[in-house]
Structure 1
Amino acid sequence: MKKRPFLLATLTVGGIFLFFLLVVFTAGYFHSGSMAVSVGDKIGVLEVEGPIDDAKRLIEQIRDFCERGSIKAVVLRINSPGGGVGPSQEIYAELKKLAAKKPLIVSMGSVAASGGYYLAIAGERIFANPGTITGSIGVIMSFPNYQELMGKVGVATETIKSGQYKDVGSATKPFTDADRDLLQNLIDDVYQQFIEAVSKGRNIPVDRLQPYADGRILSGRQAKEIGLVDELGTFYDAIDYAADLTGLGADPDLVYPEPIQKNLLDRYLDTMMSRYLGVDMFPVKMHGPLYLWSGY
């Protein structure tokens, strides 16, 4: 009789534990993008949304998916006009490492242009909607010039520099021919890196690729015609392809990275400013040469 309270307490605690375990698994079952509760082999989904200005977060996600044995293939969903050259190249390099270990399938959303397309060529199969905006293979740098405005208000800038080109791109002086030549040579080199990556990734000779690599945007259907895209299809077509490739069958479990957590104040301000003023509280800042479609 004396052991019954202990036994009852043990059964109660065990019952509570099993109840919460059941709740967790049930929630994971009904949440289509569950992260860690589903059991068995899965397809990982990585998302690139908006301008590419920082590689750190996505690289962490890529490496995590690369190391997880339960993830048998990865679908990269791109909805981006591109961004900084450096971040685009860093992410591309990590995607290539991932693709060497497990299938990497790409799905293009509304836009996968310039740097967004640069990331896409890391995949073994690229899906695009017929109306997806892609292409924009090229490089751009822009420099404001406030010299005339500053002169009107009586403001002048005196610059002491160690060399001829140390203040190249300054907003307070006009470009010289030498400045333009220097920057054009830089752009040409970074552009050539883009061309070479696309040529290698898509197995298209440079001379055949060159006419379409003048910065022009293309629809998904146009891109397929010239070999920049493999299939016309949706995100779920890409998922089905990855599932067939890995033998996971219909309706495979999908795994998404943990979402970025913002504090309550940041979420509130971001929502209010975006909804009522159309202002982004956390604007993207990019510098230097860009793999970017400026029409985004």
Structure 2
Amino acid sequence: MIGSGNVDRLATVVLGGIASAVVAIALFVVYPETLTDLLGVLIAIATVLVGLRFAGNVADSLFPAYDVAEVAVEGPISRDGGGGPLPTSPGATPADDVVEQIDRADDDDNVRALLLKLNTPGGEVVPSDDIRLAAKRFDGPTIAYATDVCASGGYWIASGCDELWARDGSIVGSIGVIGSRVNASDLAEKVGLSYERFAAGDYKDAGTPLKELEEEEREYLQSLIDDYYDTFVERVSDGRDLEPEFIRDTEARIYLGEEAYDMELVDHLGTRREIEDELADQLDTDEVVVEEFEPERPLMARVGAGAQSVAYALGAGIAGVADERGFRLRT
């Protein structure tokens, strides 16, 4: 079915092309009998092309072909899109790019709803929350939909949307936090390395891999994890209207889409086509036209979910480096 907006756009472009052709022929050529006439033909063709381009721009402005913006969050989430801390993790999603796309969609008068495509095992905490806030302040219906993986930071983001959809086989959940460090003190001793401390502040080097953790340092690092976890639970509880105790009882498990739906971690199970039908009902229109919004600057190479994303979601969740000392914090 061709919508009336598309018909109007096509008519505008055709009329613009015809008008450009008539003007070009009248100005530059009647019959190409000489080299000058041939040059006129070339100029006429160029004029028609310019006219079509101009008419297309006018048509896009007067009769927009889309009313829903789609923004994708794929791969681990970081501030600038640098690779994750794990060597097998896919290229990360630059959170600033995603926020810019959502804000640009919100400023676009043609866009009436937002589709947030989530295929991510998570990522850094603050960038994930920035995307959640951008989705939350979007002026219109917002639907997040999980393709392969919507775990940890992906679920954090989804809590800022009106609805969360998934497929039966989507991986959903991992609402938890983990901290880790490499203890290389024994290895350092065997190879003759020693650690000399120069620091201002008792906890400045807490988590350094070249020395054993003291009990006070262990409690300090655990308190950071607990604080992040409390924030995570609060975000999900507020955004998804779930009881905090229920969220904690999941113990950071992951669930397939069908079980997540039964637990009300997901609002609906369905395909992309069914999501578009739901949006059409919400916007009171026969059908919606989705425009994929891309970042205005080139993205670094992004790798699809596949086996790497699934393995990353199972083993890591949100992955972020707490600081330069070697203590890694993931939620």
TM range (shorter): 0.7 to 0.9
Aligned twin of 1:149: 187
Aligned twin of 2:137: 97
CA distance in 1, matches of 2:236, 2:114: 21
For 1:51, which of 51, 76, 81 is the aligned residue? 76
Q: Assess if the C-alpha contact under 8 Å between 1:74 and 1:242 holds in 2.
A: no
CA distance in 1, matches of 2:320, 2:244: 29
Q: Assess if the C-alpha contact under 8 Å between 1:80 and 1:112 holds in 2.
A: yes
CA distance in 2, matches of 1:37, 1:151: 72
For 2:67, which of 28, 39, 42 is the aligned residue? 42
Aligned twin of 1:183: 221
SS where residue 78 of structure 2 aligns?
A: coil
Aligned twin of 1:64: 104
Aligned twin of 1:255: 291
CA distance in 1, matches of 2:184, 2:289: 54
Aligned twin of 2:11: none
Percent identical among aligned pairs is 31
Q: Whose radius of gyration is greater, 1 or 2? A: 2
For 2:199, which of 158, 161, 173 is the aligned residue? 161
Aligned twin of 2:276: 239
SS where residue 172 of structure 1 aligns?
A: coil
Q: Assess if the C-alpha contact under 8 Å between 2:172 and 2:257 holds in 1.
A: yes
Q: List per-residue Cα deviations over 1:145-175 (Å, max 9, x = no partner).
A: 2222222111112111112211011111111
TM-score (norm 1): 0.78
Q: Assess if the C-alpha contact under 8 Å between 1:150 and 1:156 holds in 2.
A: yes
Q: List per-residue Cα deviations over 1:86-132 (Å, max 9, x = no partner).
A: 1111111111111xx11101110110001111111111111111111
Q: List per-residue Cα deviations over 1:31-81 (Å, max 9, x = no partner).
A: xxxx99972441100101010112211111111011111011011110001
1:286 aligns with 2:286: no
Q: Assess if the C-alpha contact under 8 Å between 2:180 and 2:329 holds in 1.
A: no
CA distance in 2, matches of 1:225, 1:118: 19
Q: Assess if the C-alpha contact under 8 Å between 2:152 and 2:176 holds in 1.
A: yes
Aligned twin of 2:163: 125
Cα pair distance change 1:210/1:122, threshold 3 Å: same
Aligned twin of 1:198: 236
Q: List per-residue Cα deviations over 1:178-231 (Å, max 9, x = no partner).
A: 11111111111110111111111111222233211x111111111111211110
Q: Assess if the C-alpha contact under 8 Å between 2:75 and 2:120 holds in 1.
A: yes
CA distance in 1, matches of 2:236, 2:273: 25
TM-score (norm 2): 0.70
RMSD: 3.0
For 2:49, which of 1, 7, 16 is the aligned residue? 16
Structure 1 gaps of 5+ residues are 29-34, 272-283
Q: Assess if the C-alpha contact under 8 Å between 2:125 and 2:320 holds in 1.
A: no
Q: CA deviation at 1:20?
A: 5.1
Aligned length: 259
For 2:174, which of 112, 118, 136 is the aligned residue? 136
Cα pair distance change 1:15/1:127, threshold 3 Å: same
Higher relative contact order (CA 8 A, sep 6+): 1
Q: Assess if the C-alpha contact under 8 Å between 1:130 and 1:220 holds in 2.
A: yes
